[in-house]
């Protein structure tokens, strides 16, 4: 024992030196850890990793039991040496405006440089290269290429309304002979359709002949006024026959022979098919009676259905190509001649009418057609594979490859989707960057879990470099925001609807403004969901309340609720309405049915509130 008595003083000196080194190493360039000690074990939901608690319980979103998760090490520091510039951006816009060169954003702000070692949109995810290969992570570049929208739809050929001709009488009579005696037969323009005997037509012919004879018998020295009146009688009698649709050729023939005809032959106004016939030979007919319909099929129409997102890119005169199942050997080019001014409320589509030439009459109405339209949208657009963007309905996220197994979740704004599986990026990415196209759902889950751990434990999230002079304008972080200003009025709304009372427009506006102040995705989701309740009757408010309830439940998983609102909050689900809501007690008061089914519902989860 005496031989090692010198060891204790030596260990004390080493320990003191180590403590002094650690204290001395803290400087303004190496901030110290937060003073609040982070818990060693946290609890999360396997289905909703953004939910994080410091004690066991149930998930406020789905009601599942929370599972333990260990807090992970913080992000590595910036590498030493020269920093590599990645792109320029405006951090005040969301999604961020990104460019590969300096300049100004659409808001007029100077763009800020961003380097490889900086976290820009949230916590990065680091995965071992071997594991990256095992989970099937694939990447693709962000390309700047011309954007053409290819629209593919279907429809049926039908008769052109402008090429339909109805044969309708204006006098009474009898069909003495029916030349167009079969539906479906083809008739040429000017071909005889039927011979009509009509006493009215016979009298009108006699009137014309008498007026004509009176004009011919006038002496050469007759007064000019008498001659003009006689000429007027001739023209009036001729006009009467013309108004009754007596062919001009029949009138001329009668005047040439000087004899009225017992029957008048009516002729076809166009080439076409007899598609409808309501008389037979010998039928008695009356004025205003439609006898035949003749359709010229040299032009046919296709009424194609266009989705509402594609409508803005079509215009009258747009070229279209139609492939006919009955004629697969060649596509036929036509023109868009009509765009419906209304969108079908059920299908969310509008009608685009395409006119197709059919001079050889090979196409038939009723044939199935596939229509393709190509629209030039933009000569330069950022494009990525569609599978690179995770669209949750609230946010759109793409994972950017940083290198060395590092991946960054980036908020983006997606535009058009093309028929070849690509999507336009309006904001959030820069040309030349690489994005993950497979396995990003695992990355998203991991990223959100790490972000939640950092929010709960108070660790500092690395922020993008602020533009000079803009730091005071930067919206406050909502990582530990208190949501009482939203949850409290929401609970009151639930009670009002359960009592069969509508929510006032002023209350809606107040909650929307409170939600916007959170400056977070969840707060914006609540504001968007609450807006449709304004100035609506109670039935429509109850329908919109379903979406609002889901947004508030999601918000409680991302923020805190104080016990000033209630000691506990209960998530209740109504199987009849297929919707959930939150209330302060477990005594069910259904806001979706009110007094009609007030007690319809069951508690599915409990939200623990915290001390302010």
For residues 191 and 303, is the Cβ–Cβ distance under 8 A?
no
CB atoms within 10 A of CB 558: 25
Give the per-residue pLDDT at 447.
Answer: 56
Confidence check: pLDDT of 244 > 50: yes
Confidence check: pLDDT of 28 > 80: no
Please report whether residue 144 resides in a domain. Answer: no
Least confident of 69-73, 101-105, 132-136: 69-73
**131: helix, strand or coil:** helix
Calpha distance 307→394 (Å, rounded): 22
Give the per-residue pLDDT at 590.
Answer: 94
Of 250, 281, 249, 272, which Cα lies nearest the Cα of 263?
A: 250
Least confident of 83-97, 209-223, 531-545: 83-97
Longest CA span, the chain: 167
378 DSSP β-pair partners: 147
Handedness of CA 526, 531, 532, 537 (dihedral sign): positive
Please report whether residue 403 resides in a domain. Answer: no
Give the per-residue pLDDT at 5.
Answer: 42
Written as six digits, the tokens of 574 are: 């109504």
Confidence check: pLDDT of 609 > 80: yes
Written as six digits, the tokens of 166 are: 């109805």
In this prediction, residue 125 has a pLDDT band, given cuts at 50, 70 and 90, of low
DSSP class per residue in 166-228: EEE-SS-EEEEEESS-STT-EE-TT-EEEEEE-HHHHHHHHHHHHHHHHHHHS-TT--HHHHH
Of 67, 66, 62, which Cα lies nearest the Cα of 550?
A: 62
**535: helix, strand or coil:** coil
Q: Are residues 289 and 166 in the same domain?
A: yes
Please report whether residue 30 resides in a domain. Answer: yes
Last residue of some domain: 276, 295, 314? 295
Of 307, 315, 320, 371, which Cα lies nearest the Cα of 339?
A: 315
What would the mean pLDDT of 199-223 be, rounded to a whole number? 88
Please report whether residue 21 resides in a domain. Answer: yes
Calpha distance 591→587 (Å, rounded): 12
Give the per-residue pLDDT at 388.
Answer: 87
Q: Are residues 604 and 492 in the same domain?
A: yes
Of 363, 346, 345, which Cα lies nearest the Cα of 354?
A: 363
Highest average pLDDT, of 33-37, 272-276, 486-490, comes from: 272-276
Q: Fill in the DSSP letter of residue 72.
A: P
Calpha distance 406→125 (Å, rounded): 6
Give per-residue pLDDT as tens, 137-190. 788 899 888 888 888 888 899 999 999 999 999 999 999 999 999 999 999 999
Q: How far is CA 321 from the centre of its chain?
A: 25
Give per-residue pLDDT as tens, 355-409. 999 998 989 999 999 998 888 888 888 899 988 888 877 778 888 888 766 778 8
Calpha distance 190→187 (Å, rounded): 8
Q: Are residues 63 and 165 in the same domain?
A: no
On the CB side of 109, CA atoms within 13 Å amount to 20
Please report whether residue 63 resides in a domain. Answer: yes
Q: Which residue's structure tokens are 């069909």?
A: 175
Q: What is the mean pLDDT of the chain?
A: 78
Helix axes 521-530, 538-558, angle to 10 degrees: 170
Confidence check: pLDDT of 103 > 70: yes
CB atoms within 10 A of CB 449: 23
Calpha distance 386→190 (Å, rounded): 59
Task: List own/partner pairs for 23-31 with CB under 8 A and 24 or more apart.
Answer: 31/460
DSSP class per residue in 93-158: SSSPEEESS--B-TTSPBPEEEETT---SS--EE--HHHHHHTT-EEEE-EEEEEEEEEEEEEEEE
What would the mean pLDDT of 236-265 be, rounded to a whole number? 89
Q: Tell me what percent of the residues of the chain surpass a pLDDT of 90.
A: 28
Please report whether residue 463 resides in a domain. Answer: no
Last residue of some domain: 267, 295, 323? 295
Q: Fill in the DSSP letter of residue 58.
A: B
In this prediction, residue 513 has a pLDDT band, given cuts at 50, 70 and 90, of confident
Domain region containing 516: 484-608
Least confident of 25-34, 59-68, 314-323, 546-555: 25-34
Give per-residue pLDDT as tens, 436-468. 887 655 655 555 555 554 444 443 333 333 333
Angle in degrees, CA 408, 410, 415, rounded to 5 = 145
**578: helix, strand or coil:** coil
Last residue of some domain: 295, 328, 347? 295
For residues 437 and 388, is the Cβ–Cβ distance under 8 A?
yes
Please report whether residue 190 resides in a domain. Answer: yes
CB atoms within 10 A of CB 580: 20
Q: Which residue's structure tokens are 């009516």?
A: 266
In this prediction, residue 12 has a pLDDT band, given cuts at 50, 70 and 90, of very low
Least confident of 39-43, 74-78, 226-230, 361-365: 74-78
For residues 275 and 295, is the Cβ–Cβ distance under 8 A?
yes
Q: How many domains does the chain have?
A: 3
Direct distance between the N- and C-terminal alpha carbons of the chain, in angstroms, rounded to an integer: 57
Please report whether residue 89 resides in a domain. Answer: no
For residues 371 and 304, is the Cβ–Cβ distance under 8 A?
yes
DSSP class per residue in 16-40: HHHHHHHHHH-BTTBPPPPSSPPPS
Q: Fill in the DSSP letter of residue 339.
A: E
Q: Are residues 495 and 603 in the same domain?
A: yes
Calpha distance 447→148 (Å, rounded): 34
Calpha distance 104→112 (Å, rounded): 9
| Residue 567, CA distances (Å) to 432, 561, 563 in order | 52, 10, 5
Higher pLDDT, 312 or 273: 273
CB atoms within 10 A of CB 487: 27
Q: Tell me what percent of the residues of the chain surpass a pLDDT of 70.
A: 75
Domain containing residue 285: CATH number: 2.40.50.100
Specify the length of the chain in residues: 612
Least confident of 344-353, 408-417, 495-504, 595-604: 408-417
- Helix H or strand E segment including 41: strand 41-44
Written as six digits, the tokens of 9 are: 């003083």
Written as six digits, the tokens of 271 are: 């080439």
Q: How far is CA 534 from the centre of its chain?
A: 23
Give per-residue pLDDT as tens, 526-571. 888 999 998 889 999 999 999 999 999 988 888 888 888 888 899 9
CB atoms within 10 A of CB 441: 12
Higher pLDDT, 15 or 276: 276
Strand order in the sheet with 67-70: 52-53, 41-44, 67-70
Calpha distance 570→554 (Å, rounded): 14
CB atoms within 10 A of CB 308: 12
For residues 529 and 544, is the Cβ–Cβ distance under 8 A?
yes
């Amino acid at each position: 024992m005496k031989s090692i008595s010198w060891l204790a003083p030596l260990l004390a000196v080493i320990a003191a030196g180590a403590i002094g080194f650690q204290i001395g190493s803290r400087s303004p360039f190496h901030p110290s850890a937060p003073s609040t000690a982070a818990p060693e074990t946290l609890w999360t939901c396997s289905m909703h990793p953004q939910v994080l608690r410091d004690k066991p319980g149930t998930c406020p979103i789905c009601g599942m039991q929370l599972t333990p998760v260990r807090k992970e090490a913080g992000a590595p520091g910036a590498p030493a040496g020269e920093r590599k510039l990645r792109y320029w951006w405006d951090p005040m816009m969301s999604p961020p405006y990104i460019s590969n060169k300096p300049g100004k954003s659409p808001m007029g702000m100077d763009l800020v440089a961003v380097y490889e070692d900086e976290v820009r949109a949230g916590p990065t995810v680091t995965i071992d290269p071997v594991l990256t290969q095992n989970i099937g992570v694939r990447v693709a570049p962000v390309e700047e290429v011309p954007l053409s929208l290819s629209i593919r739809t279907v429809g049926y050929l039908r008769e052109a309304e402008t090429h339909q001709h109805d044969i309708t009488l204006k006098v009474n009579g009898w069909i003495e002979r029916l030349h167009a005696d079969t539906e479906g037969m083809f008739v040429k323009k000017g071909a005889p359709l039927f011979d009509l005997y009509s006493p009215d037509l016979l009298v009108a012919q006699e009137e014309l002949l008498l007026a004509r004879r009176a004009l011919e018998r006038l002496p050469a020295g007759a007064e000019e006024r008498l001659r003009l009146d006689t000429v007027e009688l001739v023209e009036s009698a001729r006009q009467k026959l013309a108004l009754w649709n007596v062919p001009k050729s029949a009138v001329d023939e009668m005047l040439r022979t000087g004899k009225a005809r017992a029957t008048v032959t009516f002729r076809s106004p166009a080439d076409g098919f007899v598609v409808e016939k309501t008389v037979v030979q010998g039928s008695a007919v009356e004025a205003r009676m439609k006898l035949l319909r003749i359709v010229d099929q040299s032009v046919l129409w296709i009424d194609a259905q266009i989705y509402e997102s594609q409508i803005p890119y079509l215009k009258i005169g747009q070229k279209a190509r139609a492939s006919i199942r009955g004629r697969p050997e060649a596509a036929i080019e036509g023109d868009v001649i009509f765009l419906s001014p209304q969108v079908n409320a059920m299908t969310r589509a509008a009608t685009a009418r395409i006119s197709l030439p059919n001079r050889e009459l090979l196409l038939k109405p009723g044939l199935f057609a596939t229509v393709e339209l190509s629209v030039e949208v933009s000569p330069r657009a950022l494009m990525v594979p569609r599978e690179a963007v995770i669209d949750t309905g609230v946010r759109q996220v793409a994972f950017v490859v940083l290198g060395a197994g590092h991946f960054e979740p980036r908020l983006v704004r997606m535009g058009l989707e093309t028929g070849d599986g690509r999507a336009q990026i309006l904001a959030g990415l820069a040309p030349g960057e690489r994005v993950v196209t497979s396995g990003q759902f695992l990355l998203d889950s991991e990223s959100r879990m790490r972000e939640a751990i950092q929010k709960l434990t108070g660790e500092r999230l690395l922020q993008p470099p602020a533009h000079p002079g803009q730091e005071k304008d930067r919206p406050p972080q909502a990582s530990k925001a208190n949501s009482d200003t939203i949850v409290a009025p929401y609970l009151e709304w639930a009670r009002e609807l359960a009592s069969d009372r509508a929510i006032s427009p002023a209350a809606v506006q107040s909650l929307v403004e409170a939600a916007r102040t959170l400056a977070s995705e969840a707060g914006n989701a609540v504001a968007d969901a609450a807006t449709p309740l304004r100035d609506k009757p109670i039935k429509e408010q109850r329908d919109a309340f379903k979406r609002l309830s889901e947004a508030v439940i999601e918000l409680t998983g991302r923020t805190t609720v104080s016990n000033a609102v209630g000691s506990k909050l209960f998530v209740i689900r109504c199987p009849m309405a297929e919707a959930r809501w939150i209330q302060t007690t477990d005594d069910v008061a259904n806001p979706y049915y009110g007094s009609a089914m007030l007690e319809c519902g069951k508690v599915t989860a409990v939200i623990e509130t915290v001390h302010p």
